[in-house]
Structure 1
Amino acid sequence: MNQRVRLKLMEGDRRPFVLYVASIYFLLCCGSCSVIVEGPSNVTALTGSDASFLCTVAAGWKSLSWIFNGVFAVSITSTSGAVVDSNQITVRNSTNIITGEFTSEMTVRNVNYSNSGMVQCQSLSSEPKEAFLSVQVNGSLKITNGSLTVPSNITIDLFCTFLKWYPMPRITWEINNTLASSLDYVVDFVTGKDGLVNGTSVLTLRPQDKVTVTCLASIETLPKPQSTSVEIVVKENISGAKTDNTKIIIIAVTVSVGCLLLLIIIVVVVVCCCKKKKKGTGERSFGGRYHYILGISIPRSNLEDYFGKSISCNGTEAFMQNSYRKIHYSAGAEEGHKEALSYHTEIIL
Structure 2
Amino acid sequence: MGPAFHILLILCTAGALAEVQLEPQMATVLRGANATFNCSVDQQWVVMSWLLNGNVVLTVTKDHGILSNDPRFTALNYSTGTLSIWEINILGVKRTDTGQVTCDVQNIQKVNAQLSIQVSGTVDIPDMNKTATQGDLAYFQCSALGWYPAPTISWTVGGSIADADMYNISTLPAGQDLFNSTSTLGIVASNSIIVRCLAAVPALTTPLTSSAFLTVVARPQQINLTVLIAVTVTVGVVLLLVIVIVIVVCCYCQRKNSTHSRYEEDMRKAQGGRGQGADNLGYATDSHAGAANGRLNDSVMSQPASINGHQIPNAVGVHDVDSPGTLYTQHSGMKKARYATIV
Counting only pairs closer than 5 Å after superposition, residues 27-176 of structure 1 correspond to structure 2 as: 32=15, 35-41=18-24, 42-97=26-81, 99=82, 101-176=83-158
What is the Cα deviation at residue 31 of structure 1? 9.2
Runs ≥4 in structure 1, deviation > 6 angstroms?
none
Cα deviation code 1:67-104 (max 9, x no counterpart)? 0122111112223322123211110124321x2x3221
Is 2:196 the partner of 1:214? yes
What is the Cα deviation at residue 189 of structure 1? 1.0
CA distance in 1, matches of 2:125, 2:145: 12
Judge conservation of contact 1:89–1:109 (CA < 8 Å) in 2. yes
What is the Cα deviation at residue 36 of structure 1? 4.3
User: 3-state SS of the aligned residue for 2:23?
Assistant: coil
Q: 1:38 to 1:93 in 2, by over 3 A?
A: same
Q: 1:26 to 1:181 in 2, by over 3 A?
A: closer
Counting only pairs closer than 5 Å after superposition, residues 253-264 of structure 1 correspond to structure 2 as: none
Which amino acid in structure 1 is aligned with residue 15 of structure 2? S
CA distance in 2, matches of 1:56, 1:209: 59
User: 3-state SS of the aligned residue for 2:15?
Assistant: helix
Gaps of 5+ in 1: 1-16, 241-349
User: 3-state SS of the aligned residue for 1:128?
Assistant: strand
Which amino acid in structure 2 is aligned with residue 51 of structure 1? A
Which amino acid in structure 2 is aligned with residue 38 of structure 1? Q
Deviates more, 1:27-36 or 1:224-233: 27-36
Judge conservation of contact 2:20–2:105 (CA < 8 Å) in 1. no
Judge conservation of contact 1:33–1:61 (CA < 8 Å) in 2. no
What is the Cα deviation at residue 161 of structure 1? 0.5
Gaps of 5+ in 2: 222-343
CA distance in 2, matches of 1:94, 1:168: 37
Aligned-residue Cα RMSD (Å) equals 3.2
Judge conservation of contact 1:33–1:59 (CA < 8 Å) in 2. no
| Structure 1 counterpart of 2:232 | none
What is the Cα deviation at residue 165 of structure 1? 1.9
User: 3-state SS of the aligned residue for 1:107?
Assistant: strand
Which protein shows a greater Rg?
Answer: 2
What is the Cα deviation at residue 141 of structure 1? 0.3
Normalising by the residue count of structure 2, what TM-score does the alignment of the two structures yield?
0.55
Normalising by the residue count of structure 1, what TM-score does the alignment of the two structures yield?
0.54
CA distance in 2, matches of 1:95, 1:156: 61
CA distance in 2, matches of 1:81, 1:58: 17
Which amino acid in structure 1 is aligned with residue 43 of structure 2? A
| Structure 1 counterpart of 2:249 | none
What is the Cα deviation at residue 35 of structure 1? 4.5
Which amino acid in structure 2 is aligned with residue 70 of structure 1? G
| Structure 1 counterpart of 2:313 | none
Aligned to 1:198, which of 162, 171, 180?
180
Judge conservation of contact 1:34–1:125 (CA < 8 Å) in 2. no
Counting only pairs closer than 5 Å after superposition, residues 4-15 of structure 1 correspond to structure 2 as: none
| Structure 2 counterpart of 1:228 | 210
Identity %: 26
CA distance in 2, matches of 1:118, 1:193: 24
The alignment of Structure 1 onto Structure 2 pairs a total of residues equal to 218
What is the Cα deviation at residue 185 of structure 1? 0.5
| Structure 2 counterpart of 1:304 | none
Judge conservation of contact 1:189–1:198 (CA < 8 Å) in 2. yes
What is the Cα deviation at residue 27 of structure 1? 12
CA distance in 1, matches of 2:51, 2:98: 13
Judge conservation of contact 1:35–1:123 (CA < 8 Å) in 2. no
Judge conservation of contact 1:34–1:58 (CA < 8 Å) in 2. no
CA distance in 2, matches of 1:207, 1:115: 48
Q: 1:74 to 1:213 in 2, by over 3 A?
A: same
Judge conservation of contact 2:45–2:108 (CA < 8 Å) in 1. no
